[in-house]
Structure 1
Amino acid sequence: MDAVCSDLLAEVRTFRQRYPDVRYVDLISLDIPGHFYGKRYPIDMLEKVAAGSALKLPQNCVLLGTQGGLFKIGDYCFNDGDPDAPRRLVPGTLKLVGWEKQALGQMLITSSGTEQPIVFEPREVLAQVLERLGRKGIFPVVAFELEFYLFDRQLQDGLPQFPRDPLTGDADDQPNMHIERLSRFSAVLDDMVETARAQGIDATVITAELGPGQFEINFGHLDDGLRAADWAALFCRSTRGVALKHDYRASFMAKPYLHHPGSGMHVHVSLYDEAGNNLLATDGQRTLRHAVAGCLEVLPHCMPIFAPNHNAMRRLSGTVNVATRASWGFEDRDACLRVPESDDRNLRIEHRLSGADANPYLVLAAILVGLEQGLQDGREPIASLNEDRESGIDFPLEMLEAVQSMQSHAPLREGLGAEFVDVYCENKRQDHLAFMQEISAREYRWFL
């Protein structure tokens, strides 16, 4: 038995000793739209997998559309026989599920690191980008921030309702950032944070955001980009579960209310060399400017990743602190790329464009490709918003145009992998067309 299997087996056995009532473990992985798929394994079978037994799932699970359907993408799905592909357990991710009624565990799985990695699996795409940067002596440190809304558990005519204030029973319909809202919703918020920490997630600062029932959670900085993205993905899963336990709904939908702020995924990234020096701070921050230039150049071609659905595009409509063009600035929340005030050791770029429902693995991979491109090209960026409030580069705000721009962009195809780009773009194209195959009530009001 090799060292990896030995460590995994010890992890499973320790878990079983600590939680003897757990009979099943959900083995889960994120698909292209950002949903978890997987299998529920008896824990004794999990021990066999940890010891080296094969773990396989259909390859095409990764290609599922937003509603779970399969699209014909090249020869995948309908002309390939729907083959199985090997997966492996991700060490350190076996944790107790704290929001289900029954005792249950969960553990991440991935094709990354197997003999046949799935080149369009989101976690594998990020793994390849990080590995390439490592060979170049570039080591990112990453922290995610996620905004989300709480809703009343009951929908009204299919539409979300403001959550009820636990103290007054009234709808929380006052947009504000008052600290009292954290106190009034403390029971569910505290449970969300404690549940996240039980999964090994370093959940830190909680903020009451501008929207009614809207909050933001920050995570600690990590020098492991895969683990940072794992945290973001797992937090979304646990937060939805905890909210239901408290009779709410939690959603990371990018724009749930047309007239209230959307929810974003903000990603802080620093780059260090092997000696631990912050590359962005070198040469009088010239490297920072090069990195910004690369991110801005790639950004318009990454919109299907940063805004992966019709609703996420709605968020980019000029509301507060959401950029409508690719821009940058120091301490400027209207910019896509904000450079927070910090010392040279902690100098970083905050990427603020993505919707909260974007796939965290792919968002981080796309950001890193932009940074990599900027360091390679060594160009100066456009004027910052601090210098010119009109500065910016247009990006597509319609999905089919965005998909075409992404699919034809050579640096992105090279940076993320041509096969992944083709598969992802066709998935988004088909998802968009499927979304449009329904006549809304508004169409009848306007045109009947």
Structure 2
Amino acid sequence: MKSHASTLLAEVRTFRQNHPDVRYVDLIALDIPGHFYGKRYPIEMLEKVAAGSPLKLPQNAVLLGAQGGLFKIGDYCFNDGDPDANRRLVPGTLKPVSWESQPLGQMLMTSDGTDAPIEFEPREVLAKVLERLQHKGIHPVVAFELEFYLFDKTLDNGLPQFARDPLSGDADDQPNLHIERLSRFSGVLDDMAQTAKDQGIDITVITAELGPGQFEINFGHLDDGLRAADWAALFCRSTRGVALKQGYRASFMAKPYLQFPGSGMHVHVSLYDGAGNNVLAAHQQQPLRHAVAGCLELLPHCMPIFSPNHNAFRRLGGTVNAATRASWGFEDRDACVRIPESDPRNLRVEHRLASADANPYLVLAAILVGLEHGLDAKREPIAPLNEDRSSGSDFPLEMLEAVRAMQHQAVLRDKLGAEFVDVYCENKRQDHLAFQQEINAREYRWFL
């Protein structure tokens, strides 16, 4: 513990030396809907926390709904006295914030690794899954890919407007994959990439996607699943901040335009044993087939994680590369679980179903549980799309049905934690019901 505290203290002191103008640091963590919550600490107080002073925040901050409201979930929030819970600083995450008007820092905090972790905290859920796999001698290597849209900074009666081409001043309203769009928006994209690198994130490929103002940025592969999910979460925060600074809005909303493709979160996962051998490639890739079967079996029960809100379900089907059935295939982007072409050393699954605004900790946890379940059960998967274009099994396409499918699934309750599953499902149910409590103009138009 002393070594851990001294490492953190050295990190804070080095940061202060390198950034003497920073007076405050945002201590942040991701809640269930995937939003950051936290507190802004004076840098002097952060040094005390790093040295071992307690860091406590309300436990129920993790339970906030998509709009920040509290829901009655069991005894939480209204019958538990709203207790504090211990958090700890995540080493290596203290970085400068460059998109604010004043010098600022930020650092991740979490309850995992404390004496009493919060069972439903997303990072803790993933930490438990990774720990169990480690005990089994399985070591994941993970890479996230995130799609997002750029919009004009000004909304039109609350609706997004196409981002303006910096060269022509015209709206970027032509969906394409042209490399020229990367050049036209290079100012904001370069700033996003550099800012992410300043946060310690390994940015690799940048792609102009099919939608107008839509882009994808890929991250490097990591043998630390927690850090890989940290990267995805922090990238969303910094990208939104940089966009505003540059005169745009950036959004990871799953389906901002009905007529254009939605934005997804693609996750590449390889599994290795203690000797560094690719587990999926052994025995003529039989473990790969088992792992795929496990993913597909649990996928219909994980939909509240992969599609965490009403809008995310709009993304499924109707446009390119977004499935409406649980399927798999080799080099097939219409599949939920794609097997990219690779050598045996780098054999991996690419899980393509989650929306870009899903919680990266929970998405990765659900994918790993699916792979783990498949390796344990050793079942054969359904036919890949390469052999049968109609292959696939149904999954829920609306939230309340999806919550019912998730809540009582025995494997998920065991592997993700029954308390987490109950809390998460009730949070999603309440969020969905709250979303329905507003009559929009179309409803009056149709029925008044």
TM tier relative to shorter chain: over 0.9
Equivalent residue of 2:101, what SS? Answer: coil
1:66 match: 66
Kindly report which structure 2 residues correspond to 1:294-373, keeping only aligned pairs within 5 A, or say none.
294-373=294-373
Matched ranges for 1:102-121 at <5 A:
102-121=102-121
Alignment partner, residue 414 of structure 1: 414
The residue number in structure 2 matching 1:229 is: 229
SS at match of 1:85: strand
Q: List alignment gaps of at least 5 residues for structure 2.
A: none
TM-score (norm 1): 1.00
Q: Match of 2:394, SS?
A: coil
- Which shifted more, 318-327 or 16-25? 318-327
Partner of 1:37: 37
What SS class does the counterpart of residue 354 from structure 1 fall into? coil
The match for 1:431 is: 431
Structure 1 consecutive aligned stretches of length 4 or more whose deviation exceeds 2 Å: none
Give the AA of the match of 2:429. R
The offset of 1:101, in angstroms, is 1.1
Supply the distance in 2 between the matched residues of 1:100 and 1:50 (Cα, whole angstroms): 24
Q: SS of the counterpart of 2:176?
A: coil
Match for 1:249: what amino acid? Answer: R
Q: Which amino acid aligns with 1:202?
A: D
Gaps of 5+ in 1: none
* Residue 408 of structure 1, CA deviation: 1.1
Residue 240 (structure 1) aligns with: 240
- Per the TM alignment, residue 317 of structure 1 is displaced from its structure 2 partner at its CA by 2.6
Between the aligned partners of 1:261 and 1:316, the Cα distance in structure 2 is 10
Partner of residue 384, structure 2? 384
Per the TM alignment, residue 205 of structure 1 is displaced from its structure 2 partner at its CA by: 0.4
2:15 aligns with 15
The residue type paired with residue 445 of structure 1 is R
* Paired letter, 2:326: A
Residue 96 of structure 2 aligns with an amino acid whose one-letter code is L
Shift of 1:318: 2.6
- Distance in 2 between residues matched to 1:416 and 1:314, nearest whole Å: 26
Provide the rounded CA distance (Å) in 2 between the counterparts of 1:83 and 1:220. Answer: 38
Shift of 1:392: 0.1
Cα separation, 2, equivalents of 1:211 and 1:428: 28
1:152 aligns with 2:152: yes
Distance 2:308 2:51 in 1: 38
Does 2:195 correspond to 1:195?
yes
Deviations, residues 7-65 of structure 1 (Å, cap 9, x unaligned): 00000000000000000000000000000000000000000000000000000000000
Which letter does structure 2 place at the counterpart of 1:281? Answer: A
Separation in structure 2 between the aligned mates of residue 323 and residue 312 of structure 1, nearest angstrom? 13
Residue 234 (structure 1) shift: 0.1
Cα distance in 1, alignment partners of residues 76 and 157 from structure 2: 38
Q: Quick one: distance in 2 between partners of 1:88 and 1:191?
A: 30
Q: What's the offset of the Cα at 1:117?
A: 0.2
Structure 2 residue 402 is the aligned partner of structure 1 residue 402: yes
Counterpart residue number, 2:101: 101
Partner deviation per Cα, 1:44-89 (whole Å, 9 max, x = no partner): 0000000000000000000000000000000000000000000000
Q: Name 2:284's counterpart in structure 1.
A: 284
Cα shift at 1:383: 0.2
Amino acid at match of 2:329: G
In 2, Cα distance between the equivalents of 1:392 and 1:68? 37
Q: Does 1:134 align with 2:131?
A: no
Q: What is the alpha-carbon distance in structure 2 between the residues aligned to residue 215 and residue 419 of structure 1?
A: 37
Distance 1:307 1:222 in 2: 24
